Chain A
Amino acid sequence: MEKYLYIALFAPLVSSLFSALFTAQKKKQFVGVIASLLIFTAFASSTVLLVHILNGGEPIHVTLMTWMATGGLNIPFGFVVDEVSVVMMMVVTLVSTVVHIYSNGYMDHDKSFNRFFAWLSAFVFSMMVLVMSDNYAGLFIGWEGVGLCSWGLIGFWYNKESATWAANEAFIMNRIADLGMLIGLFLVYWNTGTLQYEEAFAAFPGLDHATLVWIGIFLFIGAMGKSAQFPLHTWLADAMEGPTPVSALIHAATMVTAGVYLVIRSHPLYDLIPNVGLFIASLGAFVAIFAASMALVNRDMKRIIAYSTLSQLGYMFAAAGLGAYWVALFHLMAHAFFKALLFLGAGNVMHAMHDELDPFKMGALKEKMKWTWIMMTIASFALAGVFPLAGFYSKDAILEVGFVEHHYIIYTVLLVTAGLTAFYSFRLVALIFHGEDRYTLFGIHPHEAYKFMLWAMSPLLILAIIAGAFQHTFFELVEEALNAVHYHIHSHVTLWIMIIGTQAFVLASIFYAYKKYARKGIKVPDGTSETEQSFLYKLLYNQYYIPYFYDEYFVKPYRELSSIFWKKVDLKVVDATVDGIAKVLYSTGSATRGMQSGNLSTMLRWMVVGLVVLLMIAVAVGLAARYSAELSQFLAGLGV
């Protein structure tokens, strides 16, 4: 079995290095094909491992070699395939395979085709390291690795100023969170003496509560960066500058869920500190509704989906924070399928529309792009949580957790968000695919994507439909590893009211969105309508002015302060002082040259002056020393 672990882990690395060999050359089709095959190999191996674990096999644990060892620290390269990591491996390799194949078509005409696959496969490798590591340090390797690949892929079209800016923003913002994560690691090390999961988890119950709380908080700060939780969320929407397959893989299905994975992986810790868990859940619920509200009015197709991702991450944290780790992991998995599908569909639309992103300029595309329409509609139904699609099972479970655990505020917020989700998802679908065609005005002739791209997307489509059926198997798989329990609402009446009520609410939202945006006569907004003038619309459209606030109160002052530090402090104060001292020494030298005139009487006179001065200093020091015990002790060091 170990063999499969190594294949799953290293096939993406091989793929990346192989593609990297051709980065400087023109597009080579075989690079994309071989990369896709290698990633598929990783997927196949992961499947074998999943079957092994499903059949009750022992978790597979390997240690390659020592990485860092000094003092009491010993960090190996260790990897583990257990119930949790195998689920993540499946999600990562499956979506990666789909995205790799899809990219063969999507990046068809790009001059940096080969470089794209080098980065994409490198990302898969980093993600595999992240989820398979058996210790926090290894997780951190993957953590930073995916950050690097995200940087390289957001800024993939590096000639574009906005893309490179977004890439740097994502990297730096993640670094802020990574500092929290590092501190978390230091706390774990100095309190438990190890960074291995197993040993650390075994030691946690023996630590005092305050320490555990700090560990929990700092690790979660790390998670907040990768999973773009408030207030570190702005980078995710800007990250949409990258090619769309990247958004599907990295910024929807896998990397952004790394934070959730961290919390799930550290569940023995968070079990001990439910108050931190409650904070995580509350923040998650807040982010869910906060992000959904921004998606309501946005006019950029990819950003709308990005906000929806953010919102769904909030759901996952809400579940994980309340201790329902398996529910969070299940939603993570289901979400990966339908969100990646949604993004890839958006990629098809973008291609058809010559990179136009404003859905108001589209309309009636269902005639030209039937399959994309079907896929995106089903993905949106799944996202909205309509029975019997994947989202219904995973999202309803989260709502039930909130209800059963008596956190009614969280429950209500998440319920309202479910309605908003349904609304903005179908606002998007309606604007893109229904109503009148508005794109002809802009002289665009849309066409459906390549067949093989649609075929590549089909596994995601199937899973978005049927993933709910796996709920029971999934529960049994992780039951032991995550201390999973079923969240039963005891009264059947309440349960049915809840389910039917939620479904009715969601369907009503969908219907309302369709009614509002699929009608005839929709105009491209020009900022004059009454809605657009309203305060609320502006607030939401400008993302609560948070990016503006960051720019104005962090970015600009930092730049100005840096400039002051250089031009005023470093050159005018620090360096000028040094030069000043040198100058004084130099001029004293020239000024006192007169003393050594060779004239005996002058020199004698100076000698007397010197003697008197020295005597005075000696007396002063002596007096001071007598009256100050500390000074005398200090001076003893000089031998006085």
Chain B
Amino acid sequence: MLDHILSILIFFPAVAGMLGFVVKPEGIRAYGITVAVVEFALSLVLWLGYDPSVSGMQFMETLPLVPSFGINYIVGVDGISLFIIILAAFFTMIGIASLPETKNEKNMIVTLLFLQMTMVGVFAALDAIAFYVFWELSLVPMLYIIGAWGGPLRIYASVKFFLYTFAGSLVMLVGMLFMAYFYYQVTGKWSFSLLDWYRLVLPESYQIWLFLAFFLGFAIKVPMFPFHTWLPYAHGQAPTIGSVILAAILLKMGTYAFIRFSLPLFPDASVFFMVPIAFLAIIMIIYTAMVAYAQEDIKQVVAYSSISHMGVIILGTFALNVEGISGSIFLMIGHGVVSGALFLLVGVIYERRHTKLMSEFGGLADVMPRYALIFGIMLMASVGLPLTINFVGEFLSFLGFYQQSHILTLVAGTAIIVGAIYMLAAFKKAFFGKVTKKENENLPDLNKRELLALIPLAIITVWLGVYPKPVLGPINSSVESVVELMHEKAQNPEYKKKIADVKAIKLARAAEVKEAK
């Protein structure tokens, strides 16, 4: 089974979703939970079977689709994608389990299962076309979730989300076609396989154009400033489950793709664009944090805070050294857990009061102490307190980028200040003070279903903050091979210097171990 576990992980939810149509409406929730639990268990099997000492791809499967054009179904997993896949399975499970009473429950659960297929597919695909297909397919269930279960502006929000990201990915597709064409020019063979492309060394000017084409697709997905405005609408209108999946997993597609495609394929261009991208990341960090501070709606605070944190992830990615990239991947997982939990928490209060305006609350710590406690833990993780999951990623990202630029890191580091400002202000408005509204006086605290979803998230938040090694270890070895590849491929000697020389680091480490002995 282990040989095909990735395909099973991808297609099991889709098949189960298909069968879900014939399940009776009363049983659909239990059915959905069962499927999601099985899927999550499978993802854990994947983790158990994963060999952390190997840095390359594992569990690879290849199935020719259009061999004459080099289009194949290729999937594989390494330390970079492994944990995001597990996270996707985990959040689908949590999401379905904590789903409140919804109209058309069956359609919702089937949609979520389809969404799960596309998410796992994106992170497992090693063929550009397969990647592209999953990437675009993931838009459809999300469009449906926002459009069918969203707020009053749901149609505008969902169409905006769809068209905006779709337009970006079309440009990316052109880039992919050109890559394959270039591969054909060089080798006389067509290939869309990512591992084949890794071996290509492109001239610098080609790299720059291709980087830009891919960049547009990824940047809109992340979303990077100034392409971010679809996100507040999407979050504002989406139901809780939509926001949770969107923030926890879908946004990570963009940052993941930067590491999977942009860095190893275009090492020179990555260095070339490092400073401009760092500037964008800094704008994301500070500007959106300030916008978050100005919000009146608590869900929008979390939405804008996501953009701010994604800025740190981008910064870590473009540190182009092992510390920074490992940090950015770890932060993807950390931010997934924390922002997913925060959206769930916002959903809890929305379900009770049908409003998300902070001015409607105040003194909730008196009425809902357990809710306040879990919110508090997630708040502290969000501001990046040590021993929470976010600190590890944030610290490493900044640490990594510090090697590239001291000043820019200092400016970007204000993330820890501005992040504290909007989160603490929001927490104060909603939870502290006296209960002023009559409606809030008898709000019920978290119920069992909600605790079931939130307690595991709180545990992970602290556990991986204290002991990140099980996740950081595999990430580290895969990142080392990416950076090594980049360093080897970079042609411009000026740029080569900017990419960390992993071999030298490894040698130094080996020498140290020897000395210690």
Contact = CB atoms under 8 A, between A and B. Distances in A.
Interface of A: 23-24, 65-73, 140-141, 144-145, 148, 151, 155, 158-159, 161, 164-165, 168, 171-172, 175-176, 178-179, 182-183, 185-187, 189-190, 558-559, 561-563, 565-567, 569-570, 574-575, 577-578, 582, 633-634, 636-639
A381 to B, nearest CB: 40
Given A70-B323, A636-B203, A183 B410 contact: yes
Interface string B273-298: 00000000000000100110111000
B80 to A, nearest CB: 13
Contact of B363 (A145, A159, A183, A562): A159
Contacts of B205: 633-634, 636-637
B294 A68 contact: no
B229 A575 contact: yes
Contacts of B399: 73, 185-186, 189
B467 interface: yes
B387 A145 contact: yes
B229 A183 contact: no
Contacts of B227: 578
A71 B323 contact: yes
B93 interface: no
Pick the most buried of A69, A144, A189, A633: most chain B CB atoms within 10 A of its CB: A144
B416 A582 contact: no
Nearest to B502: A71
Q: Which 8 A-B pairs have the closest CB atoms?
A: A71-B322, A637-B205, A575-B229, A562-B294, A186-B402, A637-B209, A566-B294, A562-B290
A189 B479 CA distance: 20
A179 to B, nearest CB: 5
Contact of B468 (A68, A72, A158, A176): A68
A570 B295 contact: no
Given A72-B323, A637-B203, A66 B294 contact: no
Interface string B306-333: 0000000000000001110011000000
Contacts of B37: none
A574 B232 CA distance: 13
A582 B163 contact: yes
Interface in B207-243: 207-210, 225-230
Interface stretch (B1-9, B119-127, B390-398): B390-398
A570 B227 CA distance: 11
Contacts of A182: 395, 398, 413, 416
12 contacts: A140-B386, A144-B386, A165-B428, A172-B417, A179-B416, A186-B402, A190-B403, A561-B290, A565-B294, A566-B291, A582-B163, A633-B205
Contacts of A140: 386
Interface residues of B, number: 77
Nearest to B380: A148
A140 B413 CA distance: 15
B443 to A, nearest CB: 15
A24 B294 contact: no
Contacts of A189: 399
Contact of A158 (B326, B370, B373, B433): B433
A565 B287 contact: yes
Interface stretch (B25-33, B40-48, B419-427): B419-427
Contacts, number: 160
B434 interface: yes
B289 to A, nearest CB: 9
A559 B323 CA distance: 35
Nearest to A174: B420
Nearest to A564: B294
B318 to A, nearest CB: 15
B87 to A, nearest CB: 19
A176 B228 CA distance: 27
Contact of A172 (B178, B402, B409, B420): B420
B420 A171 contact: yes
B327 A70 contact: yes
Interface stretch (B66-74, B249-257, B469-477): B469-477
B109 interface: no
Given A158-B433, A637-B206, A71 B505 contact: yes
B456 interface: no
Contact of A190 (B402, B480, B505): B402
B402 A168 contact: no
Given A172-B421, A634-B208, A637-B203, A69 B323 contact: no
B367 to A, nearest CB: 12
Interface in B339-373: 363, 365-366, 369-370, 373
B50 interface: no
B385 interface: yes
A138 to B, nearest CB: 9
Contacts of B402: 183, 186-187, 190
A581 B410 CA distance: 35
Contact of B475 (A70, A171, A186, A187): A70
B433 A164 contact: yes
B428 A168 contact: yes
Contact of A159 (B163, B366, B369, B466): B366
B435 to A, nearest CB: 9
A186 B409 contact: yes
A158 B365 contact: yes
Contacts of B287: 565, 569
B403 A155 contact: no
B232 to A, nearest CB: 8
Nearest to A173: B417
B75 to A, nearest CB: 26
Contacts of A172: 417, 420-421, 424
Given A164-B428, A179-B414, A72 B387 contact: no
B432 interface: yes
B382 to A, nearest CB: 13
Contacts of A563: 294
Contacts of A636: 203, 205-206
B401 to A, nearest CB: 9
A140 B425 CA distance: 24
Contact of A72 (B386, B469, B475, B509): B509
Nearest to A576: B229
B509 to A, nearest CB: 7
A562 B369 contact: no
Contacts of A566: 290-291, 294-295
B164 interface: yes
A175 to B, nearest CB: 5
B431 interface: yes
B15 interface: no
Interface string B476-517: 100110000000000000000000101001001100000000
Contacts of B400: 71
A183 B411 CA distance: 11
Most buried by B among A67, A561, A634, A638: A67
B363 A179 contact: no
Given A69-B469, A179-B414, A185-B399, 11 more contacts: A70-B323, A70-B476, A140-B386, A145-B387, A172-B424, A558-B290, A563-B294, A569-B287, A578-B229, A633-B205, A634-B205
A179 B295 CA distance: 25
Contacts of A66: 469
Nearest to A115: B369
Contacts of B294: 559, 562-563, 565-567
Nearest to B287: A565
A66 B392 CA distance: 13
A247 B140 CA distance: 56
Given A145-B387, A186-B402, A565-B294, A70 B396 contact: yes
A185 B413 CA distance: 13
A186 B229 contact: no
Contact of A71 (B206, B326, B395): B326
A226 to B, nearest CB: 14
A183 B413 contact: yes
B510 to A, nearest CB: 12
Interface centre among A69, A171, A175 (most CB of B within 10 A): A175
